[in-house]
Amino acid sequence: MAVRQNIWQRRKMSNGYCGLLYYFYLLFLLTTMFAMTHGKSLKNDGEFFYNCLKHRNSPQWINTLVDNRARKCLRFLKSIRSSVAQDQPSNNDVRIHESRRSELSISSYLSALISWRNKEGNLADLLLDRTSPCHRQSKELRKHWTKFFMKRRNSAAVSPAILQHTWDGNSGEITFRPIKTRFSSNTLIAAELVLTRSSPSDIGELFGRYSTRVSLKNHNARTVMHSDYQSSCPSRDGRFMLLEMETDHLIQWYHNRSRNFSLSVSVIPRRQYTSPLVQEPINVVERIVGLVMHFERSYSGPNNDMDRSRRLLLQALTGSPDTLSNNMGGNSPVEDTHFGRSAEATRRRRSPTKASKRKRRQIRHKRSSPSYEACHLVSFILETSFTTNIGVSWDPVIGPTPWNIRECQGNCSHPIPSHLATTNHAITLSQSHSKLCCVPTEHRTLHYTRNNDDEITFEEFPKMVATKCGCL
């Protein structure tokens, strides 16, 4: 009996293992099929737009499409017609445009990325229109590029200094200096090579599909770090081309502090449909402007991102890196630096006051008077020396932008409005007529870039900008 029971238990265990293996096998198949379908859909969207342009004067071809594809084609053709109606450049216009290239640089792309991180605009207007104008015609492209940027939303990033770069027609080379900046985390999560191109609307390009390839120049051997396709649609903002890079060789170079890094880049047009007034072939890429490497942030351990942010904040306030090392370096931990309210101020805030009927009438009269202002947000613009002390990098086209960290002003008289009473502690003190203070209760992170000897890094000040006020 015991032998039969052991045999039954072994069979049961083996069946459980087989079922588990079968489950993982199905999961692997589904994941592979989704990845293949997603990649094919991105590639097929480019071919679909090209065929839509090719058969734009053939209603019979459009009628053969299913409803959603037909609507997609008609929307694309409508955007093409509006673009052509606004501007139809000739060959002479294209030559003039190529002769005076815009001064776009890696700082222009990084500034747009920082503006999106600081919630100064939406993703479509700040980044998608500049990097993938076809996202408005293709949901798959919009999903792909949204996922691309969401992966880079909260990263610590660095753009290495360029030693030399060349671009001739459809190919070029670029060499980067070793990276000096060290991050607390060595986990490289993403990287992209940034190229600037001519605006599609300025050169009369109605649609383009390009084969992009990036190789690592390592003596005689060449290792492919990027190979993909990119599409182009009519837009005046589509000035950047982003090539997502493989990260294994980049992290090896990051740890090697003495070796340069050279890449060979090619952008070959596979499909190019231009305005009828433009008859000559067009080289859309202007130059390679830089590489951006994104690292995972770390807020624990020695020299973490929080410590780095606090040191930069002290440097921005004092303007002296020496004060930085004395206050924050060595055996002096970050927790020793206190920016809060003093004990005496806290006692004054919590000291009870006599609340008579006469005083209550005065409070009610004060609340009804026009001069009374409840606790609310107001602007607080930092001095330009704050950003100068830490070497903030700006967009060369827009220039320096004032930093508004905002502050809270106003009264916290009894009774406190519900949207200002953020804690039970404040409500209790309000009922006893203790004096409360108008202070920020919610903050957001302020992202910015610094330039250190042509090496640009992404930095942040956590909880820097006040977004909501309350009475405490």
The tens digit of pLDDT for each residue in 195-254 reads 999 888 888 888 888 999 999 886 555 789 999 998 888 888 888 999 999 998 999 899
For a pLDDT cut of 70, what percent of the chain falls above it?
Answer: 64
Mean pLDDT of the residues in the chain: 75
Would you state the pLDDT for residue 19? 59
pLDDT tens track for 325-335: 444 444 443 34
Nearest alpha-carbon partner for 258 in 159, 157, 179: 179
Confidence of residue 96 (pLDDT cuts 50, 70, 90): very low
Contacts of 167 (CB under 8 A, 6+ apart): 285, 286, 287, 288
Contact 42, 132 (CB under 8 A): no
Nearest alpha-carbon partner for 83 in 234, 277, 291, 297: 234
Contact 472, 430 (CB under 8 A): no
- The angle formed by the CA atoms of residues 469, 471 and 472, to the nearest 5 degrees, is 120
Would you state the pLDDT for residue 396? 79
Neighbour-count burial for 104-122, b at 16+ CB within 10 Å, e otherwise: bbbbbbbbbbbbbbbeeee
**Main-chain phi, psi angles of 215, to 5 degrees:** -125, 150
The 3 state secondary structure assigned to the chain is CHHHHHHHHHHHHHHHHHHHHHHHHHHHHHHHHHHHHHHHHHHHHHHHHHHHHHCCCCHHHHHCCCHHHHHHHHHHHHHHHHHHHHCCCCHHHHHHHHHCCCCCCHHHHHHHHHHHHCCCCCHHHHHHHHHCHHHHCCHHHHHHHHHHHHCCCCCEEEECCEEEEEEECCEEEEEECCCCCCCCCCCEEEEEEEEEECCCCCCCEEEEEEEEEEEEEECCEEEEEEEEEEEECCCCCCCEEEEECCCHHHHHHHHCCCCCEEEEEEEEEEEEEECCCCCCCCCCEEEEEEEEEEECCCCCCCCCHHHHHHHHHHHHHHCCHHHHHHHHCCCCCHHHCCCCCCHHHHHHHHCCCCCCHHHHHHHHHHHHCCCCCECEEECCECCHHHHHHCCECCCCCCCCCCCECCEEECECCCCCCCCCCCCHHHHHHHHCCCCCCEEEEEEEEEEEEEEECCEEEEEEEEEEEEEEEEEC
pLDDT tens track for 97-130: 443 344 688 988 999 999 999 988 899 989 999 9
User: How far apart are the C-alpha atoms of 263 and 215, rounded to whole Å?
Assistant: 6
Confidence of residue 341 (pLDDT cuts 50, 70, 90): very low
Q: Is the pLDDT of residue 38 over 50?
A: no
Would you state the pLDDT for residue 324? 43
Would you state the pLDDT for residue 114? 92
Q: Is the pLDDT of residue 365 over 50?
A: no
Q: Is 257 exposed, middle or buried (0-12, 13-18, 19+ CB in 10 A)?
A: exposed
Nearest alpha-carbon partner for 51 in 69, 34, 36: 69
Whether the upstream peptide bond of residue 160 has omega within 30° of 0, thus cis, is no
> Stretch 282-305: mean pLDDT, rounded?
86
> Stretch 417-442: mean pLDDT, rounded?
81
Would you state the pLDDT for residue 334? 39
Structure tokens belonging to residue 199: 């605006």
Contact 274, 282 (CB under 8 A): yes
| N-terminal to C-terminal alpha carbon distance within the chain | 74
Contact 273, 225 (CB under 8 A): no
> Stretch 45-54: mean pLDDT, rounded?
64
Q: Is the pLDDT of residue 35 over 60?
A: no
Q: Is the pLDDT of residue 262 over 70?
A: yes
Confidence of residue 256 (pLDDT cuts 50, 70, 90): confident
Would you state the pLDDT for residue 22? 58
pTM over 0.85, yes/no: no
For a pLDDT cut of 90, what percent of the chain falls above it?
Answer: 29
User: How far apart are the C-alpha atoms of 383 and 317, rounded to whole Å?
Assistant: 10
Amino acid present at 109: Y
User: How far apart are the C-alpha atoms of 75 and 386, rounded to whole Å?
Assistant: 48
Query: Bridge-partner residues for 459, per DSSP?
Result: 448
Q: Is the pLDDT of residue 412 over 50?
A: yes
Q: Is the pLDDT of residue 146 over 90?
A: yes
Q: Is the pLDDT of residue 287 over 60?
A: yes
